[in-house]
Structure 1
Amino acid sequence: MKRLLAAALLMATPLAFAQKKSGDLKVYFVDVEGGQATLFVPPTGENLLVDAGWPGAANADKIVAIAKVAGVSKIDNLLITHYHIDHVGGVPDVAARIPVGRFIDHGINRETNDKATETSYQNYQKLLANGHYAHLTAKPGVILPLTGMHVEVVSADGNVIDKPLAGAGATNAACAASPLKDAENTENDRSIGMMITFARLRIADLGDLTWNKERLLMCPVNKLGKVDVYIVSHHGFDRSSSPALLNAIAPRVAIMDNGAVKGAEAGAWDIVDHSPRLKDLWQLHTAIHTDAAHNSNDSRIANLPGPDAFHYLVLTVHPSGSFAVTNSRTNQTVEYPAR
């Protein structure tokens, strides 16, 4: 199965997608069926895999196959945003297939009343105990000790940064009109959120951070500033991506790691799609549980309805600050100018 999957991915992948000796940052959005697995590969320095999707061989094989496409033979850093099964469940399977140097997480599991979450966390703890891995607990305000790109932690374990990031801090006019929601009191609330900067381009990845916790970053002032690329929180569930967040960070491009029947809820999709600077909203799957008005154009979707074809999206960030998104299904690339 592993060899067949890798072969299928590589046969469907233009050579231009693979990581080359260039000055570009490549970000691969792996289709793990509505989980998250995002591989950042800078031109020099250390790579970073954010989450590892669901448990099981199929998703782990997809991640390893994409690593091969990217020219990666070792995961330098594997960051776990939180301990829900669709984010950490695949970690042992991935670690069994490709070497991992360091794990990064937010600390202990806080959602002990959920069996799947606690089991996923305990499996991860067994892996740490039985292996020879470096380990780092992320805290808000910390710059991760990675080389090749700048990664600043803005949320972790339910806490957020005290002060705005450099260049941020403007009053957020969207706060007054953005509805309030209660905290979930789940691991989602405790997601590691990051601002990733490369060549003046800013990427926001907040994991599954919820509406209530977003507000601590956004109101009364926008602590994050504007971004170029927003990795849509929580797969597009409407418990995340509040108007206060989207109107303030105002991404130029959004990328949603939804599944065919998971995420991409109409309310959240609308908020992202109507954010003030958005040019394109890309999806890993057509959301078959909603309507055409709440799905992007097919050209901006990696996997259309039907059998799983393992297609993925690639974000390429050029040293000039311009960037592009490539759809592996269509082999088409859309370019976006530098700010």
Structure 2
Amino acid sequence: MRIRAAIRTLSLCAALLGCVAVPAFSQTGSPLQMYFIDVEGGQSTLLVTPEHGSLLIDTGWPDNAGRDADRIVAAAKDAGITRIDTVLLTHYHVDHTGGVPQLVAKIPVGTFIYHGPNRETGDKPTVDAATAFEKVLATGKYKTIIPKPGDLLPIPGLKVQVISADGQLIAQPLPGAGAANAYCAQSEIRPPDQTENARSLGVEMTYGKTRILDLGDLTWDKERALMCPANRLGHVDLLVVSHHGWYQSSSPALVYAITPRVAIMDNGAKKGGSTPTLQTIKKTPGLEALWQLHYSEEGGAANNVDAARIANLPGTDTGYFLKASIYRNGEIDVLNARTSAVVKYPK
């Protein structure tokens, strides 16, 4: 315990001073690299295995002179890859799927995984994003997979299991899960969400001893259905905070029950990062750190994390990313591209 405390202390010093900490002795093998790309309040998360296999979750926004596609390509270059094997689209909202046409114009893509047809047909930006994606698929250049909850996705070097898809959830607890969830009482019952958010294709990814949860924009009502009365997920090491940290997601029934060690929020300055969510995450049992892609203007000084754990501070758009290096033994390192500092979280 003293050794781990010392490692954490040295790592925190590194974050505050802007230097890179000395690698911990517990690291074994090459890590899974996980880039949280700044697409200004959308989502785009790139995972690259030691064998250079790649999975991109969501593509950010369209337009903006190809900004989001350029940032994805830059992250891919940093990771040492020149193509993206698989793109998983959580749902059809424009901040998640809108960037597909620009992405495929700038880097080769192999397979698209998605939940099926768009279900939110009354919202023009969502319809436009879905239509643009369908035109890309109509070229016949790409393989496609439409999975169901419980399916294992064919991602070499990484176990990826579907938790939610097209409004459906896993029916049975994952191995080791299934205990009664005491936090259900702290989560009020909310009406069913009628948007594509509730259709999010959510996954749990396992690399060695590390479990990673990304549920896209899955909403509060679906979280409760998944986690109450029994916790179907069990413990998670790294949580990609749902829905950019907006208050429509991140119920205590989910966040407190899965006890993440590290949480990373892909919020924008004015999108996501809701004050109640920031407060909920910070109170999570066993949480060692929350990281944010942006300083949340809504959260203000009282609720944002320390600047050392924020990639983009208020001011001019800088596009800095966060990168988690995930080792098979359960260790997680997080790099802030703005400061070049690394903080280590031993297992």
Question: Fold match, TM over 0.5?
Answer: yes
The gaps in structure 2 that reach 5 residues or longer are 1-19, 23-28
**Is the contact made by 2:48 and 2:79 (CA closer than 8 Å) also made in structure 1?**
yes
How far off its partner does 1:325 sit? 0.4
Is 1:266 aligned to residue 272 of structure 2?
no
Identity %: 52
Equivalent in the alignment of 2:244: 235
Give the Cα–Cα distance (whole angstroms) in 1 for the partners of residues 310 and 237 of structure 2: 19
How far apart, CA to CA, are the structure 1 residues paired with 2:157 and 2:242? 24
| Runs of 4+ with >4 A deviation | none
Aligned residues: 319
**Matching residue of 2:181:** 172
Match of 1:27 in 2: 34
Task: Indicate the residue corresponding to 1:42 in structure 2.
Answer: 49
Aligned partners of 1:45 and 1:146 also within 8 Å? no
Q: What is the root-mean-square deviation of aligned Cα atoms in Å?
A: 1.2
Q: Which letter does structure 1 place at the counterpart of 2:231? A: N
Q: How does 1:63-74 map to 2 (within 5 A)?
A: 63-74=72-83
Structure 1 distance, partners of 2:186, 2:100, is: 40
Indicate the residue corresponding to 2:158 in structure 1. Answer: 149
Tell me, in whole angstroms, the C-alpha distance in 2 between the residues paired with 1:72 and 1:89: 23
CA contact (8 A) 2:278 2:299 kept: no
Partner SS, residue 185 of structure 2: coil
Deviations 1:246-297 (Å, cap 9, x if unpaired)?
1110111100000011100001111111111111110000012331111010
Q: State the SS of the aligned residue for 1:39.
A: strand
**SS of residue paired to 2:113:** strand
Aligned to 2:325: 316
SS at match of 1:96: helix
> SS where residue 171 of structure 2 aligns?
coil
Query: Contact 1:236/1:256 (CA < 8 Å) preserved in 2?
Result: yes
C-alpha displacement of 1:177: 2.5
Separation of aligned partners in 2, 1:123 and 1:53: 14
Match for residue 244 of structure 1? 253
In structure 1, list runs of 5 or more residues that go unmatched. 1-13, 17-21
State the Cα distance separating 1:81 from its structure 2 match. Answer: 0.1
Deviation at 1:45, TM superposition (A): 6.0
TM-score, normalised to structure 2's length?
Answer: 0.90
Select 2:308's aligned residue among 294, 299, 317: 299
Please state if 1:51 is matched with 2:78. Answer: no
Which of 329, 332, 337 aligns to 2:338? It is: 329
Corresponding residue for residue 168 of structure 2: 159
Distance 1:254 1:293 in 2: 18
Contact 1:45 1:147 in 2 (8 A): no
Q: Of 78, 81, 86, which aligns to 1:77?
A: 86
**After superposition, what is the alpha-carbon deviation per residue over 1:150-179, rounded to whole angstroms, capped at 9, x for unaligned?**
000000000000000011111001112211
Q: Which has the higher contact order (CA 8 A, sep 6+)?
A: 2
